Each structure stands twice: as C-alpha cells, then as structure tokens.
Amino acid sequence: MNRVKDWKRVISESFIWRSVFRHGYPDTRRNKMLAVSTNVFLHLHPTKIKERAYQVRFTWCMGGISFFLFLVLTVTGLLLMFYYVPDSRRAYDDMKDLTFVVPFGSVLRNLHRWGAHAMVLSVIAHMARVFYTGSYKPPREFNWVVGVILLVFTLLLSFSGYLLPWDQLSMWAVTVGTNMARATPFLGHEGPFANVLGMAINNDARFVLLGGTIVSQSALLRFYVWHCVGFPLILVVFLSIHFWRIRKDGFSGNL
C-alpha cells in the first residue's frame, strides 16, 4: 500500500507531471481561477462572471450554439472527406455510398446536413438577439461588423456545400445562384455597364467563380476547395477576432 502512495508521490511531483498540471485541484478560489486562465480553451471565457450572465433569456446562447455547430460541421465534414471525391463522374455515387454503404455514413451525412441548416438558423437568431438587445451599440459596433462577415461566410459555406452532392437540386441551385453573378455591374456580362470592361460569358465574374462557362467539373472542384478549406479557414480567423472582441468590449446588458 505504501509503495503505491510512494509512486503516486514520485509521479505527481515529477517535472513532467507538474509541467502538464500547472496548479492543484480546483478546490480553492485561486486554483479555480488558475484552471480557467491558464487553459487556452477555457480562457476564452472570463474566470468570473455575474450570476445574471447565466441567464439564457438574455443571450439565448445562440452565439455559443453557432460555434458548437461549427465544430460539429468541421468534424463531420472532415470525416465525409474520407469517402467523398470531388470528381463529377463519381461525386454523386460517393454520396450514395455515404448514405447506403459506409458504416454510419448516413448518420454522418445527416449530422452535417442538419448541422448546416441549424447553423444558418442559429447565426441569424444570434444576430437578431444582438439587434433586439441593442448589443451592437458602442463600443461593440466593430464586433457587429465582424459578425456580418461571419454571417456572409456561413452562407457561403452553406451555398458551396450545396453543390457537392452533385444531384439535380445541387446543379440547378448553383446554376441559379451563380447566374446572379452575371448581373453584377461592370463585372457580369449581362449586368449594367458590362460593355465598359468588355465582359463576355467567358471572362466575367461568374466565369471566375465557376472556372468555366457552365457548372461542370472545374466548378465542382472550386466549390469543394472553398467549402472544405478556404471558407472554414477564413471563418476561423474572423471567429477568433469575434471572441477576442467580446472579451475586450465586455458583455452587454450588465452581465
């Protein structure tokens, strides 16, 4: 018995152990604060908040749920990438494999799909909450601006992901969606002032988005890369700014 205790002491007093567990059990006030402030994930949150801040009535926790859904989508999306190939000849078959053949593939796909819908909704609800509680007012105007960018990239993620199943719904949704770019002033070949810069179907804004004049292989690859790497990376950058600003500006509504 004593030997076990000795070993426990030797281990828990070793340099390695103490370099990982940098404070004692969070049973004292000091250790509780340290547990939060010395941990990179936990320190996003203040070490102390007022009791009122727990009130879901004020924030609806919609920002937090949006972030949680983003994490869910990142994990499920990463797993989907192991079976999905962005090749126009096989993308649709891969989707069917994911649904019917891959173990738990259908759960994964549905998590990703419902998560995506839920994220769009929760981001919009979060924005509405910030608006109705007046939390966009000084000094938080900058964070509102960052929030608008986050909304845009959430929608872009949703739109770019929509093409990937490569079924009729995807094809026509993205055909219609990218056709809007035809009407861009100056940069779209059917928009106002298209002639000023000599825009045509094979050199305008839509052409750059699709990498061609029709929704085909190059469009699928471009949307895939934006969806899986480009947009999530940009979103993470702006999320970091968003969270950092929340800490710097403080919570609104006397929380």
Using CB under 6 A, list all residues that contact ligand HEM.
70, 73-74, 77-78, 80-81, 84, 109, 112-113, 116, 119-120, 154, 157-158, 161-162, 164-165, 227-228, 232
CA atoms of 232 and 239, how far apart (whole Å) = 10
CA atoms of 110 and 96, how far apart (whole Å) = 13
DSSP string, 112-136: HHHHHHHHHHHHHHHHHHHHHTTTT
Q: Which of these ranges, 45-53, 103-111, 211-219, 223-231, lies near another protein under the rule CB under 8 A?
A: 211-219
Q: For another protein, give the closer residue by CB, 110 or 202.
A: 202
Q: Which two tokens stand for residue 222?
A: 């471009």
| Least distance between ligand HEM and beta carbon 166 (Å) | 9
Binding string, residues 146-185; x marks residues near another protein by CB under 8 A: --------------------------x--xx--x------
Which of another protein, ligand HEM, none sits in contact with 70, Cβ below 5 to 8 A by type? ligand HEM
Burial 67-83 (b: 16+ CB within 10 A, else e): bebbebbbebbebbeee
Query: Which one, of 150, 170, 75, 158, lies nearest residue 116 by Cα?
Result: 158
Q: For ligand HEM, give the closer residue by CB, 53 or 155.
A: 155
Q: For another protein, give the closer residue by CB, 46 or 211.
A: 211
CA atoms of 84 and 165, how far apart (whole Å) = 9
39 in contact with another protein (CB under 8 A): no
Which of ligand HEM, another protein, none sits in contact with 116, Cβ below 5 to 8 A by type? ligand HEM
CA 70, 231, 221, 177 torsion-angle sign: positive
Which of another protein, ligand HEM, none sits in contact with 176, Cβ below 5 to 8 A by type? another protein
